[in-house]
Amino acid sequence: MSPINKALARASQQLADVSDTPRLDAELLLAAALGIGRDRLLLDPPPIAPAQFAAMLERRLAGEPVAYITGHRGFWNIDLEVGPGVLIPRPDSETLIAAAVEHFAGTTGPKRILDLGTGPGTLLLAALDEWPRATGLGVDFSPNALEYARRNATRLGLADRAELRLGDWADGVDEAFDLVLANPPYVARDAVLGAGVAEHEPREALFAGDDGLDAYRRLAPQLGRLIAQGGLAAIEIGHDQGESAADVLGQAGLFSRLARDLAGRPRALLVAR
């Protein structure tokens, strides 16, 4: 076995106690330490692991998320810079973009996009990359998250199409959009999360009151006026909130349908107009 494969095997064994994906974590950390992509690491591995790999591995063993250690996370067709203080993009959130792609199939796509709680620009920038003619607005209450979003927009060449604004959900937003996206906090206050999540990621982007529905209660009364004719709103939910979150939207007069993620779990509520 080559030295690089031995390093990966040892790291994977160590990470087995703190990660559900120890081999993947080890590969991502080693690729970042080498300054190359994971695909190149697998196809054309270097002879030895660099010294900084050990330090990165120690951080992961202490529970720090891989994305914070590497400083990047892939989402849909883009790569986002992330770090402490911002919610790490999850593959499950791609369900919202997939639902929008289906909704606008056979058209030129949305012209105006709104992302409420944009974080590092996750949904907004993925949507702008998907529809090159669109422009959009991303709103977040965290100056730190918006700084990441601005850097990501610039690095991806999307800064001229993405307005990023400090705000409290849709307060002060008086425009109707073809596509409204939101990944609000939806975790109940006493819920148990995966290792390292609550310890490292911003609590305000995770937790939403005793039942995890507080953010939906804020969004629901605002949502109807934000959706343009023929438009779509896609709102992420927890896997057990298909009925409860839909009830909150229903109380605001909004009919929604459920979208499931690739694992078949409830993942988003869709409101079309």
Beta bridge partners of 79: 74
- Within this chain, do residues 137 and 46 fall inside the same structural domain, yes or no? no
- Within this chain, do residues 95 and 215 fall inside the same structural domain, yes or no? yes
The residue among 28, 62, 96 that closes a domain is 62
- Within this chain, do residues 34 and 138 fall inside the same structural domain, yes or no? no
Q: Contacts by 73-76 with C-beta closer than 8 Å and gap 24+?
A: 75/122, 75/126, 76/126, 76/129, 76/130
- Within this chain, do residues 39 and 155 fall inside the same structural domain, yes or no? no
- Within this chain, do residues 79 and 58 fall inside the same structural domain, yes or no? no
Report the amino acid identity of residue 169: W
In a domain, 67, yes or no: no
Tell me which of 166 and 46 has the higher pLDDT. Answer: 166
Report the amino acid identity of residue 91: P
* Structural domain count of the chain: 2
In a domain, 51, yes or no: yes
In a domain, 147, yes or no: yes
Q: What is the CATH number for 49? A: 1.10.8
Using one digit for the tens of pLDDT, what is the confidence trace for 107-148? 999 999 999 999 999 999 999 999 999 999 999 999 999 999
The residue among 39, 62, 85 that closes a domain is 62
- Within this chain, do residues 47 and 103 fall inside the same structural domain, yes or no? no
Q: What is the CATH number for 200? A: 3.40.50.150
CA torsion sign for 124, 264, 213, 248 is: positive
- Within this chain, do residues 50 and 181 fall inside the same structural domain, yes or no? no
**Which helix (H) or strand (E) is 102 found in, with range?**
helix 94-103
What is the rounded average pLDDT of the residues 140-161?
97
- Within this chain, do residues 40 and 162 fall inside the same structural domain, yes or no? no
Residue 49: predicted pLDDT? 81
Which of 174, 183, 206 lies closest to 269 in space, CA to CA? 183
Using one digit for the tens of pLDDT, what is the confidence trace for 35-59? 888 888 888 888 878 889 999 999 9
The residue among 19, 34, 62 that closes a domain is 62
pLDDT at 209 over 90: no
* 40 touches 32 (CB < 8 A): no
In a domain, 69, yes or no: no
- Within this chain, do residues 147 and 13 fall inside the same structural domain, yes or no? no
Domain residues for 257? 75-272
In a domain, 68, yes or no: no
- Within this chain, do residues 30 and 104 fall inside the same structural domain, yes or no? no
Q: What is the DSSP string of 183-229?
A: ----B-TT----TTHHHHS-GGGTB-SSSS-HHHHHHHHHHHHHEEE
- Within this chain, do residues 57 and 124 fall inside the same structural domain, yes or no? no
- Within this chain, do residues 111 and 39 fall inside the same structural domain, yes or no? no
What is the rounded average pLDDT of the residues 21-48?
89
